[in-house]
Chain A
Amino acid sequence: MPSVTITTTQVQQLLDPERKQTSVLTPFGNTILEIQGDLEIPAMEPGTPLLSPEYQFNTCKDKDTVRFGLLHISEDKKHATLYIGKKQRLLGSVVELERPLGLLRFNEATGAVDLCDIMHYKIMFKDRPLPIM
């Protein structure tokens, strides 16, 4: 019968009330961005010279990345605004989750499972995008 013990060493320090997440990011620097809809972004970097300077390809920890937006969080950490590309503006909020979400990392190669973070908030955009004015 298959079974696996979930390692929890990393998250245990989060359960100290003083280290509980109070902001958009967890103390380990994770967050969830949720948008009601699909987010279309380039699947890969084009081999040809870029057609427009708005695409900002980059790298981060050996991974190719693309910049897709600019996020603004209000002073009181309640309201969020997201600019996508050059044309869309989304109004949203920082939502406290009814039940915290554990972030599980599955490593298929080693068969290990790690509960590596606990999220208490997410950044939520559930309204129709507005044009940028």
Chain B
Amino acid sequence: STTANTHSGEDAASTHDKLRIWVKYKAGFSNAVRKNVSWEGLWH
């Protein structure tokens, strides 16, 4: 039963992680990359 408990504890932790709502701030902003677009790229 100890094993089962640990298991469900991990589950709860990972479920909590998956349910997290959070903004992870990025210190820098970049938009330096520019590239031409192929026809395939247009649709994907």
Contacts and interface: CB of A to CB of B under 8 A. Distances in A.
Interface of A: 2, 35-43, 46, 48, 50-52, 54-55, 66, 68-69, 84-85, 87-88, 90, 106, 108, 126, 128-129
Grouping DSSP codes into helix (H, G, I), strand (E, B) and loop, the B interface class, with mixed when no group exceeds half, is: mixed
A37 B19 contact: no
Interface of B: 12, 15-16, 18-26, 29, 39, 42-44
A39 B19 CA distance: 12
A74 B22 CA distance: 23
A37 B23 contact: yes
B16 A41 contact: no
A38 B19 contact: no
Given A51-B12, A106-B42, A106-B43, A42 B23 contact: no
A44 B32 CA distance: 33
Given A2-B39, A106-B42, A126-B29, A35 B23 contact: yes
Nearest to A82: B23
A40 B14 CA distance: 14
A51 B20 CA distance: 11
